[in-house]
Amino acid sequence: MPYDEQPLRPLDQTEESLVRALAHVMMALPRLVDADMVGDGGLPLSEYTPLMFLSEAPHRRMRMSELATACNLSLSGMTRVVNRLEKQGFVQRAKCQEDLRGWNAVLTDEGLARLQEAWPAHLTSIRRHVLDNLAGHDLAALTAALERVATTP
């Protein structure tokens, strides 16, 4: 796409390849992992992720807005995910005592059990698709770069 006028240097071949590979990963990887997980553990990433964050939180509970931020979801999106999880008995809502406008999503015992059941499939999938393909790379440096990518305004 030759096009000039501004001091906008087009991508060179190396950069172009990287961008396309990254685009491919972003489109394909969530589906690949989801397929592995529903094939085995039966829990899609969209539900696994919030259960995971809840399991790590104090008292296994988080405010809806915290959880939405952690999962990179809009607040309304989080509302609907938690609705699904609540219907399955994996999460309960509890009014937040310090601020009666707020709600906590609380991981139930059943939810924790479900998470532990899904964990092996998740771990296996992530190892196979991601970590096994990054052998020999400097993971810490890569992580730092990815964190910048995700947060550059």
First to last CA, the chain: 26
Task: Give CA–CA dist 17/11, Å, rounded.
Answer: 9
Helices and strands (H, E) in the chain, number of each type: 6, 3
Pick from 74, 116, 133, 143: which binds DNA (CB under 7 A)? 74
Of the two residues 96 and 119, which places its CB atom closer to a copy of itself in the complex?
Answer: 119
Distance CA 7, CA 19 (A): 20
**84 touches, from a copy of itself, DNA, none (C-beta below 5 to 8 Å by class):** DNA
58 touches which of DNA, a copy of itself, none (CB within 5 to 8 A by kind)?
none
Shortest Cβ 41–DNA spacing (Å): 15
Name the minimum Å distance from CB 135 to a copy of itself.
9
Largest distance between two CA atoms of the chain? 62
Which residue lies nearer to DNA by CB, 55 or 79?
79
What are the structure tokens assigned to 26, written together? Answer: 């972003």
Where does this chain bind DNA (CB under 7 A)? 44, 46, 63-65, 73-84, 93, 96, 99-103
